[in-house]
């Protein structure tokens, strides 16, 4: 019997995390593996090393939160807004626009009671003068974007969206656009 999840365990990162007793590995059925629950809260650095082996997710106060893939209307709306913003920013040499799921650390653990949060907005923008002098690397943004755009899906709750908006603003994001394609509105938070 061939277990298709076995290569997953051979990943050094996952193997290390399971061995360190950070995760419970649940095998749902042959060929379907799911890391269902963290036993311990993790840091943004640990999440960065683990993220390539996971599906779409964010780190919220040290806990990995799985997210379902967005639907077609969400994807179309985010792509069109992102393309428009990218073209405008490039034409005027204003900074950098980042695609969906680019991670930004919006909350750093400051003591044992707080934990890292890494969010991946649908679209984000950072002014040219705020780009680090040494340039960008492949890590998550350790600074808040100037603009975050979140496109709501049908399944997003108002509470979840407002929680994200609050996190973004508390971290130093200047503007958050919440786009609701279903009723064709944009709400701007400062």
Per-residue confidence (pLDDT) for residue 56, from 0 to 100: 82
CATH class (in words) of the domain with range 72-189: alpha beta
- Name the strand (E) or helix (H) holding 118: strand 117-119
- Name the strand (E) or helix (H) holding 65: strand 63-66
Total-model pTM? 0.76
pLDDT tens per residue, range 39-79: 578 888 888 888 777 778 888 888 888 888 888 999 999 99
Angstrom distance (rounded) from CA 121 to CA 159: 16
pLDDT tens per residue, range 75-116: 999 999 999 999 999 999 999 999 988 999 888 877 777 788
Q: Kindly report the average pLDDT of the chain as a whole number.
A: 81
**Domain locations in the chain as residue ranges:** 6-66, 72-189
Angstrom distance (rounded) from CA 28 to CA 43: 27
């Amino acid at each position: 019997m061939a277990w298709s999840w076995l290569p997953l365990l051979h990943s050094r990162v996952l193997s290390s995390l399971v061995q360190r007793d950070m995760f419970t590995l649940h095998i749902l059925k042959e060929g379907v593996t799911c890391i269902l629950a963290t036993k311990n809260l993790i840091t943004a650095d640990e999440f960065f090393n683990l993220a390539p082996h996971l599906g779409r997710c964010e780190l919220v106060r040290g806990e990995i939160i799985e997210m379902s893939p967005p639907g077609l209307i969400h994807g179309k709306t985010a792509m069109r807004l992102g393309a428009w913003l990218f073209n405008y920013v490039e034409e005027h040499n204003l900074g950098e626009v980042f695609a969906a799921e680019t991670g930004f650390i919006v909350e750093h653990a400051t003591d044992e009671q707080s934990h890292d949060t890494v969010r991946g907005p649908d679209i984000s923008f950072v002014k040219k003068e705020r780009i680090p002098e040494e340039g960008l690397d492949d890590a998550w943004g350790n600074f808040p974007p100037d603009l975050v755009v979140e496109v709501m899906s049908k399944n997003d709750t108002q509470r979840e969206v407002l929680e994200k908006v609050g996190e973004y603003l508390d971290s130093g994001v200047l503007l958050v656009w919440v786009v609701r394609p279903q009723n064709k509105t944009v709400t701007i938070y400062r």
